[in-house]
Amino acid sequence: MKAVHYSDYLQLEKILNAQQPESELNNLPAHDEMLFIIIHQAYELWFKQIMYEVESVNGIMQQPALNDNSPELQTVVHRLQRSVTILKVLVQQIDIMETMTPMDFLDFRDMLRPASGFQSWQFKALEARLGLQYEQRYGQEYYISQLRQEQIDLIKSVEAKQPLISLVNQWLERMPFLDQAAGWFEEYTSVYRASLNENERNNLQGFEKVFGAAAGSAGEDSAQGTSRQLSPKACRAALFIMLYRGYPILQLPFQLLNVLLEIDEQLSTWRYRHMNMVHRMIGARVGTGGSTGKDYLKGAVDKHYIFKEIAQLTSYLVERRRLPVLDRQMEMKLGFSAGY
């Protein structure tokens, strides 16, 4: 086995020589352009790492059977939690970017046209791999307008694959406890109905739409004709996990649902911080890539929630003291006392 040198292993010669400020090439030195380049290169490296984690998770979730108390599910949760930690770093990097003032940015901004963060094909591919569908995107007319054809082809190939949210839907639909807990959902429906006060009665329509026979399958909403990513059966399984997460066998499934919500939260936080930074830097001006700048970013903040159907299930929780009591056999299964 040959000796490996640190700089060779990391290919530092390539990395450290990958910054070529346009301001220097144009003999109009702008000190902060180096910072701008390095931060965006770091973003792209972290996007690559998150995509690497998500691809591995999707591979595990594609298995026809996934034991809810298995090393594989632990690996899924661990790698998604790592992705959340990386997303937190992406948010924190904005603090570094904001040490650059608007005048510092103006020193080199016009030299970048039409380069823009909007051209980050890796981030678009990551969103698609998680489950953000084309029809859910804000500003569809801009979505791929600034990309090269090979990047468009790559994104479309990613969009053709089954995303994480769809794999989660299938995993939830396979959960055996709902079929074994006879009458549980009917009893819970009565409990939920009784928990509503006069001002919350309209919540019952939402409950029936999400969980009941009136709801469409994953991919459609029969009442509204809109797209949904979790089927009624999957929603009932996710609700069961949330309500009874104290049982040992449901702790990992609950962590999985929770880490998906954290991913959405961190992506939203990153978009929000990015939006405010852009507003601070360029005000109401059009972005270098031709987008509407802050207005486009605000639309993405408001609309681009991938796991919102899981988050919305919290609208239908009741207090622990109201929960239907599970029979002894089911409690034994949820407590590892018997296999399933």
> Peptide bond preceding 114: is omega within 30 degrees of 0, i.e. cis?
yes
End-to-end CA distance of the chain: 48
Q: Was 60 annotated as part of a binding site? A: no
Contact (Cβ atoms closer than 8 angstroms) between residue 296 and residue 138: yes
Is 109 annotated as ligand-binding? yes
Is 36 annotated for ligand binding? yes
CA distance linking residue 35 with residue 233, whole number of Å: 49
**Quick check: 223 and 215 in contact, CB under 8 A?**
yes
CB 189 within 8 Å of CB 239: no
Is 39 a known ligand-binding residue? yes
306 assigned ligand-binding residue: no
Amino acid at 69: N
Report the C-alpha gap between 202 and 207 in whole angstroms: 9
Nearest alpha-carbon partner for 308 in 243, 242, 263, 250: 263
Query: What is the number of other CB atoms lying within 10 angstroms of the CB of residue 245?
Result: 16
Q: What ranges make up the beta strands (E) of the chain?
A: none
Please tell me the distance from the alpha carbon of residue 279 to that of residue 298, in angstroms, as a whole number: 10
CB of 171 within 8 A of CB of 235? no
Is 37 marked as binding a ligand?
A: yes
Binding-site residue set: 36-40, 109, 274, 288
Binding-site residue set for substrate: 36-40, 109, 288
Binding-site residue set for heme: 274
